[in-house]
Amino acid sequence: MNSGEIARMAGVSVRTLRHYHQVGVLPEPARRSNGYREYTVRDLVLLLRIRRLAELGVPLDGIPPMLASDGPADAVLDELDRELAGQIERLTARRAVIARLRAAGAGPDTPPELADLLGAGAGGGPLMLEHDRDIMVLLHHRLDEAGRAALTGLMSQVSEPETLAASNELTARFAALTPDTPDAEIDRLVADYHRALGHLSFDGFENVDGRTGALLTAYQKMVFNDAQREFFARLIAAA
């Protein structure tokens, strides 16, 4: 048999067959006078055994010792079973995340803890929703476990019906700020923000590091205009 024939009979690709040769799992057979490999039935049986072990999840470097051993394979099978159980657990968790994202209508890159919350506000339109998502994704990545819990808690507070209505109205006003907006209008927005949302708890954000703050500032410079950045500066100063 040539390489194409044995690969077909074993149900593998010629590329896989060559890979087995390259990594030393399947010894290369002798070559005929024309330079082509000549496979025998014994090579086919060995290839079928290799394929079977690989399908069970045995790593390629672990196959030769198993093929050479005449002893029981209980230890190997136990290890494979534990690995598969772990994979099933991880895949089940992933499916749960996917279901949660789908139910919330959230994108696949959304942190699952925030899936139900990021789409709640729409006061500033799609662009502001995009900015909110970006900032939340960045914060979620940079915060520790306590900080992430605090972020989720804050978003849960904002999603309360009355608070959400006020937040949407303020977000719409923020989105409408332009470089020509009078200072008095920015001050009114800051005051209204503290009056409507000043009760929100930010406990848990004490450990936000300087690098995270710098990243958020850099993001704001990229996406917000001068008036909007001035709003943030005054909001922080009035806190």
- C-alpha to C-alpha distance for 183 and 109, rounded to whole angstroms: 37
pLDDT band with cut points at 50, 70 and 90 for residue 205:
low
Question: What are 43-74's pLDDT values in tens digits?
Answer: 999 999 999 999 988 888 888 888 887 666 77
Instruction: Please provide the size of the chain in residues.
Output: 239
Domain regions of the chain by residue span = 3-68, 72-104, 111-237
* Cα 93 from chain centre: 13
Output the CA–CA distances (angstroms, integers) from residue 77 to 31, 47, 72, 83, in the order listed: 36, 20, 10, 10
**Residue with tokens 């929100």, as numbered in its chain:** 200
Predicted local distance difference test score (pLDDT) of residue 193: 92
Predicted local distance difference test score (pLDDT) of residue 15: 95
Q: Which of 90-94, 147-151, 166-170 has the lowest mean pLDDT?
A: 147-151
Q: Which conformational region is residue 122 in: left (phi greater than 0), alpha (psi within -120 to 50 degrees), or beta?
A: alpha
Residue 122 has pLDDT above 60, yes or no: no
- C-alpha to C-alpha distance for 92 and 110, rounded to whole angstroms: 18
Output b/e per residue, 83-118; b: 16+ Cβ within 10 A.
eeeeeeeeeeeeeebeeebeebebeeebbbbbbbbb
Pick the CATH number of 3-68 from 1.10.10.10, 3.10.100.10, 1.10.1660.10, 3.60.21.10: 1.10.1660.10
Q: Is the dihedral of CA 53, 55, 56, 61 positive or negative?
A: positive
* Cα 212 from chain centre: 20
Q: The pTM is what? A: 0.59
